[in-house]
Amino acid sequence: MEIFDTLSNSLKELKTANGKRFNVFVCGPTVYDKPHLGHARTYIFFDIFIRYLRYKGLHPFYLMNITDIDDKIIKKANSENVPYDEISRRYSAEFFKIMKALRNESVNYYAFATDFINEIISQISRLMDRGYAYETSDGVYYSVEKFADYGKLSHQDISQLKAGARVETNENKKSPLDFALWKKRKPNEPYWDSPWGEGRPGWHIEDTAITERFFGYHYDLHGGGIDLIFPHHEAEIAQMEAISGKPPLVDYWVHTGHLSVENVKMSKSLGNFITVEEILKDYWPESIRLLFIGMNYRDTSNFSMDGLNNSQIIAERLTWIYRKVADVETQRKENYETFINEITEPLDKNMNTPESLANINAFIRWATNELGKTDGKNGEIRAILDDIDSIFGIVRKAPLPEGLLNTVLEIRKRARANGDYGTSDKIRSDLSKLGIKIEDKGNESFAWW
RNA sequence: GGGUAGGUGGCAGAGCGGCGAUGCGCGGGACUGCAGAUCCCGUUUAUUGGGGUUCGAAUCCCCACCUACCCUCCA
Which of residues 269 to 298 on A have a Cβ less than 7 angstroms from any strand B atom? 294-296, 298
Shortest CA to C1' contact from A156: nucleotide: B3
**Counting Cβ atoms within 10 Å, is residue A333 exposed (0-12), middle (13-18) or buried (19+)?**
exposed
- pLDDT for A162: 67
> Which ranges constitute the DSSP H helices of A147-187?
158-163
Query: Which positions in strand B are less than 7 Å from the protein's CB atoms?
Result: 1-5, 11-15, 21-25, 32-40, 68-75
Secondary-structure breakdown of chain A: helix, strand, coil percentages, each rounded to the nearest 5:
50, 20, 35
Phi, psi of A130 (to 5 degrees): -90, 5
- Within 194-253 of chain A, which residues have Cβ less than 7 Å from strand B? 203, 224-232
Query: How long a stretch of residues is chain A?
Result: 449
Q: In angstroms, how far is B59 C1' from A348 CA?
A: 20
CA of A352 to C1' of B13 (A): 11
Query: Is residue A153 a contact partner of residue A253, using CB atoms and an 8 Å limit?
Result: yes
Please give the Cα distance from A376 to A303 (Å, whole number).
39
- Strand A133-135 vs strand A139-142: parallel, antiparallel, or unpaired? antiparallel
Distance A110 CA to B42 C1' (A): 53
Bridge-partner residues for A66, per DSSP? A112
Give the whole-number percent of chain A exceeding pLDDT 70: 96
- Tell me the nt nearest to A204, Cα to C1': B73
Q: Cα–Cα distance between A286 and A314 in angstroms, integer? A: 9
What pLDDT score was predicted for residue A382? Answer: 94
Residue A167 gets which letter from DSSP? P
Q: Cβ atoms within 10 A of the Cβ of A447, count? A: 19
pLDDT digits (tens, 9 = 90+) for A215-258: 999 999 999 999 999 999 999 999 999 999 999 999 999 999 99
A143 C-beta neighbours (distance < 10 Å), count: 20
What's the angle, vertex CA A393, arms to CA A389 and CA A394, rounded to 5? 85
The answer for residues whose C-beta is within 8 angstroms of residue A98's C-beta and 6 or more apart is: A34, A35, A39, A40, A276, A277, A280
* Beta strands at A10-13 and A2-5: parallel, antiparallel or unpaired: antiparallel
**Contact status, residue A237 vs residue A149, Cβ threshold 8 Å:** yes
pTM of the model: 0.94
CA of A433 to C1' of B21 (A): 37
How sure is the predictor about A361, in pLDDT bands with cuts at 50, 70 and 90? very high
Mean pLDDT of A169-198: 89
Task: Tell me what pLDDT residue A434 has.
Answer: 80
Distance A113 CA to B7 C1' (A): 42
